[in-house]
Amino acid sequence: MLKGWHGLFGTFTGVALITVAVLPVAALVVGVLARRRRAAGVPTALARRWSLAEVGIVYGTVPWVWMILLPGSHPGADPRVSLVPLRDLFAILSGSPVTATAQIVGNLLVFAALGFFCPQRFPALASVPRALALGAGCSALVETAQYVLRLDRVSSVDDVLVNAAGAGLAALASRRWWRAAAGASEEDRPLSAPAPGR
């Protein structure tokens, strides 16, 4: 049972409950943003798509990062770093199948929303390599924060690899909507000025 503010904001269960509880708020924000865009002259479908993508990026990423940055059992202890690729991953896979599945799936989901929605909102990111790079960069920042803040967590290169893979796979899953985002971006560009004398 969750007790006090720490139980609500400082545990995985608490963060998960907050995430579910704010889902109606997130949906409301999508509606408000879309309405404001429509009032500004943005086509309805595009206003909804952009608003959903922006809220989806935040709603689908912040809770995972929040959980990653929760301190371990001994915050302030000497930080631990693992820079040998695949070593931690193989160690996880050699353990309990349930634990291994939970850890790998969890790491794949950390920046999945970023990979899924960013290419739809920002056409410049509409490629799998760019989504992979975005996921890897964000993951490296989080792992560095774990180290600097001395959260009693392992800063592992394998986490960066799996987080980036999750962003790339999610981007691939959203590929069917990239063209719509790119087309909308082209439509929103101002027309070039006519040449002088015409």
DSSP 115-150: HHHHHHH-GGG-SHHHHHHHHHHHHHHHHHHHHHTT
- Residue 40: per-residue pLDDT: 96
Q: Is 40 exposed, middle or buried (0-12, 13-18, 19+ CB in 10 A)?
A: exposed
Dig out the tokens for 9 from the structure: 């904001």
Q: Is 72 helix (H, G, I), strand (E, B) or coil?
A: coil
- Residue 45: per-residue pLDDT: 92
- Residue 189: per-residue pLDDT: 46
- Residue 192: per-residue pLDDT: 45
The number of beta carbons lying within 10 Å of the beta carbon of residue 120 is 26
pLDDT tens digits, 44-102: 999 999 999 999 999 999 999 999 999 988 888 888 999 999 999 999 999 999 999 99
CB 116 within 8 A of CB 168: no
Q: Which residues of the chain have pLDDT under 50?
A: 186-187, 189-195, 198
Q: What is the pTM of this model?
A: 0.86
- Residue 145: per-residue pLDDT: 96
